[in-house]
Structure 1
Amino acid sequence: MLSPELDRKATIKQVKRFFEKDFRTLQNMAHISYMNIKSPTLKDLPDKSVVSNASNSKTNNYMYAIETLAEVRTALSEINRHSRKLIEYRYFKQLTWYDITGLTEYSLTHSQKLLNGALIEFANAFVDVEDLRVFKSKGGEDNDL
């Protein structure tokens, strides 16, 4: 059986959202200083099970952010070098399109087209962590799978 057709436009939009929102949040979470977190003791544990231990929650968020950012790095290492550079310029260094076209010597339109291809490559490489791909359904509607 053939796999469903990838909705390129919707997938690109989904990956852009990941880099513009989730990725920045993960970066912020990973750079929070946890120097003031002490090891939890029995007296620090909450009385009721519905309340979480704030120290554990902060540490878990920090570890989740670190692990996910490492997975982003791994996925980027699996894509084309030129694609990786475009993603780095746009989302890691947050360069303007003017700066990117100067560095790549491609036109604005060509740079944007290449970045869209890079985002599709990333979506395919990142699928084991989070599936950012969107597929077309048989009825013509778009569905996330």
Structure 2
Amino acid sequence: MLLPELDHKATIKQVKRFFGKDFQTLQNMAHVSYMDIKSPTLSDLPNKSVASNGIDSKMNNHMYAIEMLAEVKEALSGIKEDSRKFIEYRYFKQLTWYDITELTGYSRTQSNKLLNSALIEFAYAFVDTEDLRVIKQTRTQ
């Protein structure tokens, strides 16, 4: 059996929405802000073991957010470091494209392509927590 075909454009849009909206909400719910930290890294995210209180933590928005942020950290640790850097620059540090191109030496177009590739990697790595992938519909005749 072949793997279903991924709709890259729609998947990238889903992951961007996650980092642009849901990730920010989770940070607020967890009372954690990575934007005020000068150089946030994966070590700044909570560990998965922090939120393992069973059913009670699921009922608490704060603990849920901490748990989800730990899942994000785990998924990010499973993708290539170069890819992870683009996600960190854009969504953790909220750098402009100008700043990203200055840091990486890549053009804006190339940086955007590398970020999109990183977002696809993240979608696969995060699938056990939340499936952000969009699968192309096959036509049946």
Shift of 1:127: 0.3
Match in the other structure for 1:41: none
Aligned mates of 2:139, 2:15 — CA distance in 1: 24
User: For residues 45-104 of structure 1, what are the alpha-carbon distances to aligned partners after superposition, in whole Å with 9 as ceiling and x for unaligned?
Assistant: xxxxxxxxxxx89x7100000000000001000000011100000000000000000000
Alignment RMSD: 1.9
Q: Which runs of 5+ in 2 are unaligned?
A: 33-55
Aligned mates of 1:136, 1:86 — CA distance in 2: 26
Match in the other structure for 2:125: 125
Q: Which runs of 5+ in 1 are unaligned?
A: 33-55, 141-145
Aligned mates of 1:71, 1:115 — CA distance in 2: 20
Shift of 1:4: 1.4
Percent of aligned pairs with the same residue? Answer: 75
Match in the other structure for 1:72: 72
Aligned mates of 2:97, 2:60 — CA distance in 1: 36
Aligned mates of 1:3, 1:76 — CA distance in 2: 22
Aligned mates of 2:97, 2:27 — CA distance in 1: 22
Aligned mates of 2:100, 2:4 — CA distance in 1: 34
Aligned mates of 1:4, 1:79 — CA distance in 2: 21
Runs of 4+ aligned structure 1 residues displaced above 3 Å come to none
Q: Does the residue aligned with 2:121 lie in a helix, a strand or coil?
A: helix
TM-score by length of 2: 0.79
Shift of 1:3: 2.2
**More strand by percentage:** 1
* Bigger Rg, which one: 1
TM-score by length of 1: 0.77
Match in the other structure for 1:44: none
